[in-house]
Amino acid sequence: SQTIHQWPATLVQPVGSPLSLECTVEGTSNPNLYWYRQAAGRGLQLLFYSVGIGQISSEVPQNLSASRPQDRQFILSSKKLLLSDSGFYLCAWKSFTQGFGGYTFGSGTRLTVV
């Protein structure tokens, strides 16, 4: 079966510290992968998407970066966190089962920058 894993579930980090969030997908190959951020009252904002290994597209300029070192691995990083980076981060995989099936989301990471 196809599943998506995301960790850690919660994270509290001081301002200026580095960040690494990981997302992996199982049961599929060459998936399209996405990182979204959900800030309170602001819905979901697409941060990055990737259609293959080493291919990263950024939707908004920001303090974050993404990498895709393996086909089913997608990493969100920052060298120095800002207070404004706090939020709920979601990894997603686009399903093409039975035609366009929408996204499958991971369980999310709650990041609090203090």
Partner 1 sequence: AQSVTQLDSQVPVFEEAPVELRCNYSSSVSVYLFWYVQYPNQGLQLLLKYLSGSTLVKGINGFEAEFNKSQTSFHLRKPSVHISDTAEYFCAVSESGGYQKVTFGTGTKLQVIP
56 binds partner 1 (CB under 8 A): no
Token couple for 96: 């093409």
Any residues with CB less than 8 A from the CB of 48 and at least 6 apart, and which?
34, 35, 56, 57, 58, 59, 64, 66, 76
44 binds partner 1 (CB under 8 A): yes
41 binds partner 1 (CB under 8 A): yes
Sign of CA dihedral 10, 92, 69, 19: negative
Token couple for 21: 């969030």
Candidates 79, 82, 102, 114; binder of partner 1 (CB under 8 A) is: 102
Name the residue nearer to partner 1 (CB basis): 10 or 79.
10
Contact (Cβ atoms closer than 8 angstroms) between residue 12 and residue 112: yes
87 binds partner 1 (CB under 8 A): no
99 binds partner 1 (CB under 8 A): yes
7 binds partner 1 (CB under 8 A): no
Binding stretches for partner 1 (CB under 8 A): 6, 9, 36, 41-44, 46, 49, 88, 90, 92, 94, 99-108, 110
